[in-house]
Amino acid sequence: MKIGVACLAAIALMSSCKKDEPSNNTGGGGTTTTDYFGIKQATVTYDYLGATGPVTIYFDDYGRKFKVSYDYQSTYSDNESWIIDDAANKAYYLNDKAKTYQEVPIANAKGERNLFVWPLTEAEITASGYQITHMTIAGKDCASYQVTSGGDVITTAFWNHIVFLSSTTSMGDLVRATSITESITANIFNVPSDYTKAQ
């Protein structure tokens, strides 16, 4: 189990591996009763490696409705968003600069949600031999632990199954929550009416 916990810390750093993790894979579609997060709804803003501006997630129904928006603030990368609705078995990719959208297989979008879901509990981590500490991030008392891999120390912190921090000694903060509110904007999971379907 200790190897599994160490692997999860490393997996939290890599979205492509996380989406294939069996505990988070519902077979690429269909409805699910999974509670991804420990609270019903929230809006969480992050500083995120690779994005000059903020990255914001919105979720409702414990994550079964989910949206992430990446604000790159770059002339080279278009801002983008992903929307997942498990109940409707639909997912969308939005190019926020061009104001276009496309429906995508839900399996293709789940990796975006999985980046922000922490599936382990404190008990599972301590049972694997890791020490839990606590740190305040964005006003929340987050559980935190560290894993050493190849000389690099990976720190992960979470609250209610929401990733609040993923950092390494070699790269610094990869993702850090900067604010959270337990509310969402109305209609946030709808494709905006001024977006057109991509050709």
Each residue's pLDDT tens digit, 51-71: 678 999 999 999 999 999 999
- How sure is the predictor about 18, in pLDDT bands with cuts at 50, 70 and 90? very low
Q: How far apart are CA 112 and CA 16, in angstroms?
A: 9
14 pLDDT higher than 80: no
Q: How confident is the model at residue 76 (pLDDT cuts 50, 70, 90)?
A: confident
Is the pLDDT at 96 greater than 50? The verdict is yes
> Topology of domain 2-188, per CATH?
outer membrane lipoprotein receptor (LolB), chain A (2.50.20)
pLDDT, residue 74, reads 77
Assign residue 119 a region (left: φ > 0; alpha: ψ between -120 and 50; beta: otherwise): alpha
- Hey, where are the domains in the chain? 2-188
Dist. CA 125–CA 132, nearest whole Å: 8
User: Which of 125, 17, 106 shows the shortest CA–CA distance to 66?
Assistant: 106
Q: Tokens 């770059």 sit at which residue?
A: 74
CA distance 33 to 165: 26
CA 62 – CA 89 distance, rounded (Å): 16
pLDDT at 22 (0 to 100):
29
Indicate the pairing of strand 42-48 with strand 100-104. Answer: unpaired
How does residue 178 score in pLDDT terms, banded at 50, 70 and 90? very high
User: 165: left (phi > 0), else alpha (psi -120 to 50), else beta?
Assistant: beta
Output b/e per residue, 38-54; b: 16+ Cβ within 10 A: eeebbbbbbebeebeee
Cβ count near 36 (within 10 Å): 23
- C-alpha dihedral, 98 to 99 to 100 to 103, nearest 10°: 130
Contact status, residue 66 vs residue 113, Cβ threshold 8 Å:
yes
DSSP state of 117: B
Of the candidates 62, 60, 54, 42, the residue with the CA atom closest to the CA atom of residue 96: 54
Residue 10, pLDDT above cutoff 70: no
The residue whose two tokens read 């839990």 is 132
> Mean pLDDT over residues 106-135, rounded?
95
